[in-house]
Amino acid sequence: MTVNCLQGNHGDKEAQIRVISVTSGKGGVGKSNVVINLGVALDKLGKKVLILDADLGLANVDVLLGLTPEYNISHVIRGEKSLSDIIVSGPGNIKIMPASSGVQELTQLTNDQKVMLLDMLESMPINFDVLLIDTGAGISDMVLYFNMVAHEKIVVFTQEPTSLTDGYALIKVLYQKHGERFFRVLINNIETEKQAKTIFSQISKVADHFLDGISLDFLGSIPRDTSVPKAVMQQKPLLLAFPDSPASKAFLNIAKRLLKTPLPGQQGTIRLFWQRLLNV
Ligand SMILES: Nc1ncnc2c1ncn2[C@@H]1O[C@H](COP(=O)(O)OP(=O)(O)O)[C@@H](O)[C@H]1O
Ligand SMILES: [Mg+2]
């Protein structure tokens, strides 16, 4: 299953990359589906996409794609495998770095291990344009950590009250404890765009009132669509299994919107990102 995918296109350490985390307060709101389908949409739009599956314990990016990676980042940390051994090819030109079960170890590395990992990450010979991180749900240290190192944060909500309160709690912690000010909001599994906008203004109102200087951007909504669970059952990305479905069209629009609205200062070199991730 592993591929020798890191050939050609010799890497430019100074190339810019957009690091986007997909996160939520509550689990089961559609994060992994968002990561995969945004990834496929961005790939279709000509971007080189790397997906980092950082959902501790729940590695579902690979399951949703019907992949069974043998190794993950912990094998690299332990010096047993190289990065090209663990990275797997997804649909199109998408690459996936399975990290979920090794994620905790990233925070406990010795200096030697950090330097070794950083060397490898920096010499990856592909210039990715976008790194999408599936952070998992909640406000655990790991979820906060990945959101802090990302340039942009997409917080996924549904209309369920628990999703709203938990998502708001996540934004609040990132704002109060870590000084994060800008969040993109995506409402998933919703009947109409109008309902999504109403939910967004509710979240916005509370945030504006209690979190001074916060900026929430309505990224869009994904409709409730029976094609989504069908694609999950087939272990294929929705955008490839049901390209004409309403949810697929919504994902494409959201990907286009993301590309049209890069934010100043919300990019950096890949080297800088890995350095921040490893805290070196
Ligand atoms: N837009 C949608 N329409 C219908 N069902 C959806 C939609 N988005 C997600 N789902 C369902 O919700 C389930 C959970 O999604 P998933 O991406 O695994 O959530 P998370 O990663 O946040 O835990 C999926 O298996 C799918 O069946
Ligand atoms: Mg998930």
User: Does some domain include residue 32?
Assistant: yes
pTM of this structure: 0.92
Tokens of 202: 């509710």
Question: Is pLDDT larger for residue 112 or for residue 205?
Answer: 205
Nearest bound ligand to the CA of residue 33: 1
Sequence letter at residue 231: A
Residue 83's pLDDT is 86
Cα dist from 7 to 52, 126, 165, 227, whole Å: 19, 7, 45, 35
- What residue's CA is closest to ligand 1, atom 26? 229
Structure-token match 């919504």, residue found: 250
Does 2 map to a domain?
Answer: no
d(CA 185, CA 89) in angstroms, rounded, equals 29
Per DSSP, 101 falls in state: G
The per-residue pLDDT for 84 is 86
The CB-side HSE value for 33 (13 A sphere, CA atoms) comes to 29
102 in Cβ contact with 73 (< 8 Å): yes
Query: Pick from 61, 75, 74, 56: which is nearest to 142 by CA?
Result: 56
Domain count, the chain: 1
Q: Does residue 32 surpass a pLDDT of 80?
A: yes
| Cβ 32 under 6 angstroms from ligand 1 | yes
Instruction: Kindly report the number of other CB atoms within 10 A of residue 153's CB atom.
Output: 24
Does residue 6 fall inside a structural domain? no
Q: Say whether pLDDT at 130 is over 60.
A: yes
Q: Quick check: is 5 in a domain?
A: no
Tell me whether residue 108 is in a domain: yes
Looking at residue 1, what is its pLDDT? 40
Domain residues for the domain of 107 are: 16-278
> Is residue 209 situated within a structural domain?
yes
Rounded Cα gap, residues 153 and 165, in angstroms: 17
Average pLDDT over the chain, rounded to an integer: 89
Q: Does residue 225 have its Cβ closer than 6 Å to ligand 1?
A: yes
Over residues 100-121, the mean pLDDT reads 79
Domain CATH number, residue 21: 3.40.50.300
For residue 164 and ligand 1, the question of a CB distance below 6 A is answered with: no
Please report which confidence band the pLDDT of residue 76 belongs to, taking 50, 70 and 90 as the band edges: confident
Higher pLDDT, 175 or 270: 175
| Protein residue with least CA distance to atom 15, ligand 1 | 30
277 C-alpha vs ligand 1 centroid, how far in Å?
A: 28
Question: Is 8 part of any domain?
Answer: no
Distances from the Cα of 256 to the Cαs of 45, 46, 168, in angstroms?
8, 11, 26
Q: Is residue 56 lining ligand 1, measured as CB closer than 6 Å?
A: no
Whether 254 is in the pocket of ligand 1, judged by its Cβ within 6 Å, is no
Q: Is residue 9 in some structural domain? A: no
pLDDT band at 37 (very low <50, low <70, confident <90, very high): very high
Alpha helix (H) residue ranges in 179-245? 193-210, 227-234, 238-241
Q: Which of 278, 2, 5 is nearest to 145 (CA)?
A: 278
Q: Is 250 in contact with 219 (CB distance < 8 Å)?
A: no
